[in-house]
Structures are given as structure tokens and as C-alpha cells.
A and B are shown apart, each in its own frame.
Chain A
């Protein structure tokens, strides 16, 4: 099949009160019963009414996340490897009592649709394993995929846990989980994994998947780590389809799901106004690499290394973005050329504003260093951003609206990596439509003329 219709469901999970007390086994289904009904309805609708072939649901969508290691353990079951070739819905007791897997399998089978969900896997261990936790079990944040016959075809253990996930264990080894379908090759990983070479880059570059399934519980942190801009940029730069399903929880700034192709954003959803979930669907090319529209590889530093830095009499100043200290320079006029450097990275900007408002301040920033807060990962960033207020000390702080308009821009940098994710965020946290900008093969992010 050349194309497929996919669905992504942003689910507004109701979190239980902080679950610190153990519950009896017979009460296990209760916490996820409501959540399951929502997922069931969304998946049935996408299959029956919209002819989708696959639905992706978010990380933590069934259980929420306010658990200790002990309290979540009762909800976890052993999830076998897909190699056992298990149609759970038909052979329900083969691996013991597994009600959640059974329901997901039957949902997939009865509606002839691939179902992607995030649950938990529990694996007993003993003292012969020196890394076995004291309570005698490993607990993994786990994605599962059931095919349209209800067969378990993928099981992925989240490799890079986010810091507060104290209820889960890190897998010892990374595994790249992929599976073939009539509509292309798929890979899967979860949330924080996207920052890591393993598994995110490996599954794309070495396993050559066509599409990535991506359940997340992602809280947005402007200016650079908001779900929709970052995930769509990742799909563009990695040149794969990305099906990103986010949990919806506005109090934790969790919203932003989408279906992203290498050449274009197909559909996205961002809603900080309501507490409702959202189902979205789109058609995708099954094998984007074979398409004439497949974007060429970008040499991200080619242009920036070929030009001389723009000289300026203005002073640089420091500013923080998500705990990283950038070097900034203020954009003083309606038009201009600026260069700002930090360590080995120099960022060049050429721009023209149609009318620069006096109460809005913009700055060009550079960062070249190791981020060390919720994880350790090395970044090189070039960014033009609006400062929160006219005080330069607020440059890098989150801001929601802008009235100054850019007519022309060209941003580039002397990057020492081929993994660069280009983002444009407009007033109201909206994405810029692709017709307004382009990424050139020499690494310039440029307005379209």
C-alpha cells in the first residue's frame, strides 16, 4: 500500500489522587476503566467512521503517573516478547491473567486496526541477577502494538526515563523495536527518548524505518521545547513520518499532538483552553523515502561556515533558556545582520521587520554546551526570539504573543552535527505554515520569497 490513514488521540487522563496505598487485586481495573472507555471510543471511531489503519494513544494514558513503585506494581503484568506470536484476544490465559492486554488486543482485532498503547511491564528477577531491585522485579514503562488481527507485534521498554518516573526501572540494554506492515516499516520509542541517539536516531538511521510511533506525556516549555514545534521539526530533520500522541493536562502544560511527515505537518492539535481530548487523522505516504517530495539531506553548517561574521558595535549579554545560559545580542533596528557566538558555534541572522514595535524586544542567541538538569545532553542552539518584556534580562523567558512581524529572515549556524531541528513558532504558540519558509540544503532557515 502506498498510503495509510493514521489516527492520533490526545487523551485527557484523569489522575488519581496521589496513590500511596496499596489496593487489592480485585480493584485493579478501576483506575483505568474510565481511561479505557475513552481510548476504546476514539479507536473505534477512527476505525469504523474514518477508516484509519492505526491509532496511537499517549504515554500514561491508561494509568496516569502519580504512583510509587509499589502502588503501580499491582497494575503491571508480564508482557511477553512479540516473538511468541500471541493473539491475546484469542488465547487469553496463555500468559496468565492479562486483562489490559486482552482488551487492547480485542479492540484491535474487532475493529481491524493497529492499536498503539502505553502500559507497564513487570518482570520477576532474583538475587542471581546482581542488578535485580530489592523487591524482586523490574518494572518498565512499556509501549505495545497490536496488529489488526489482535497480535502483539511490538513491545518497547522506555530506555530514557524522565527523572520523576520513580515507579519504573531503566532497561539494561537498549533495543531498537521495529516491525513491518503492509504500509511500511515502523519504529517506536517514548517521550524523553527523542533526545537520545539510542534509540531515536538509531531506529531511523540504522533501521531505516518509514514511520515512528511516539506516545508521550510531554509538558511544554517555551521557547524551545514545546511539543508540536519540536516534534514536527524532528520529523522534518530526520525525514520520517512521526505520529506523536500527547497526554492532555493543561495544569501541567501537557498538550500538543500531531501527525508529521518529512515534508509537511499533516495535522496538529494544541489546546491550552479546554480539558478535552482530541482525535486527529491524516493520510501519510507509507514509504516517504520513495516519494519525489522526499526532502534532500541538509548540510547544516555549509552556509554559516562560508560567510564572514557580521560585525556589530553592540554588546552581548547573557540569558537563560531552560537552565542553559545563552549568549544574546539585541536586534536594534527594523532590518539588520547579526552574528553571535558561543564557544565553537556562531549564529548568523539576516532579517527585515515590517514594523518593529517599540515595546517588543528581540534578540539573537547562541548556546554551545552540555545541558545537565533533567538529563545530560549536548546542545548547539541558534535562536531568534522575542523577549518576555523590554527588559533584556527576560530574553529566553517564555512569552505567548507577538505583534512585531518578520518579513524576511535567514538564520544559520556553524553546527558540528548533522542533527539540527528547525522550528518557527508564531504568536499564540502556532506553527508557521510551510509555505512561508524553507530549509535550504546549505543549512539556512529562510523565509520564502
Chain B
């Protein structure tokens, strides 16, 4: 067993059911 110099452990979950209709904000948001 080799000890590991860990910076990050992560379980990164995406819950698509709770997303708004479209992911990107696009140009309009930045205008």
C-alpha cells in the first residue's frame, strides 16, 4: 500500500433533472 500525497478526492455529481432548460448563458448575458 503506497500512501498518496492527495490534493483532492472528489465525487462530482451532476443532477440533470434539476437543470434549467439550457446550460449555457452565451453572449446575451455578457452584453
Residues of chain A at the chain B interface (Cβ within 8 Å): 159-166, 170, 192, 195-197, 201, 222-224, 229-230, 233, 300, 345, 347, 353-354, 370, 374-386, 399-409, 411-413, 415-417, 419-427, 429, 432, 436, 443, 445, 447-449
Tell me whether A420 and B11 are in contact in the complex, defined as CB-CB below 8 angstroms, given that A166-B30, A376-B23, A436-B2 are known contacts.
Answer: yes
Q: Tally chain B residues at the interface, Cβ within 8 Å.
A: 29
A382 touches B10 (CB 8 A): yes
Other than the known A376-B19, A426-B6, what 15 A-B pairs have Cβ atoms closer than 8 Å? Answer: A170-B24, A195-B14, A197-B16, A201-B16, A223-B7, A353-B3, A383-B10, A384-B10, A385-B8, A399-B7, A412-B11, A416-B13, A422-B10, A426-B4, A445-B9
Task: Give bound CA distance, A429 to B29, whole Å.
Answer: 32
What chain A residues lie within 8 Å of B30 (beta carbons)? 163-164, 166
Task: Give bound CA distance, A408 to B30, whole Å.
Answer: 45
Tell me whether A405 and B11 are in contact in the complex, defined as CB-CB below 8 angstroms, given that A170-B26, A370-B18, A376-B19 are known contacts.
Answer: no
What chain A residues lie within 8 Å of B7 (beta carbons)? 222-223, 385-386, 399-402, 425-427, 429
What chain A residues lie within 8 Å of B26 (beta carbons)? 161, 163, 165, 170
Residues of chain B at the chain A interface (Cβ within 8 Å): 1-20, 22-27, 29-31
Checking B8, B15, B16, B17 against A384 with a beta-carbon cut-off of 8 angstroms, the contacting residue is B8
What chain A residues lie within 8 Å of B2 (beta carbons)? 436
What chain A residues lie within 8 Å of B8 (beta carbons)? 222-224, 229, 383-386, 423-425
Q: Which residue of B lies closest to A419 (CB)?
A: B14
Q: Which residue of A lies closest to B26 (CB)?
A: A161
A381 touches B6 (CB 8 A): no
B11 touches A383 (CB 8 A): yes
Report the minimal beta-carbon distance from A130 to chain B, rounded to whole angstroms.
16
Which among B11, B12, B14, B27 has the highest number of chain A CB atoms within 10 Å? B11
What chain B residues lie within 8 Å of A166 (beta carbons)? 27, 30-31
User: Lowest 9 CB-CB distances: which A-B pairs, in order?
Assistant: A405-B3, A378-B18, A380-B13, A427-B5, A160-B24, A197-B16, A383-B10, A384-B9, A166-B27
Report the minimal beta-carbon distance from A386 to chain B, rounded to whole angstroms.
5
What chain A residues lie within 8 Å of B29 (beta carbons)? 163
Which among B14, B16, B22, B25 has the highest number of chain A CB atoms within 10 Å? B14
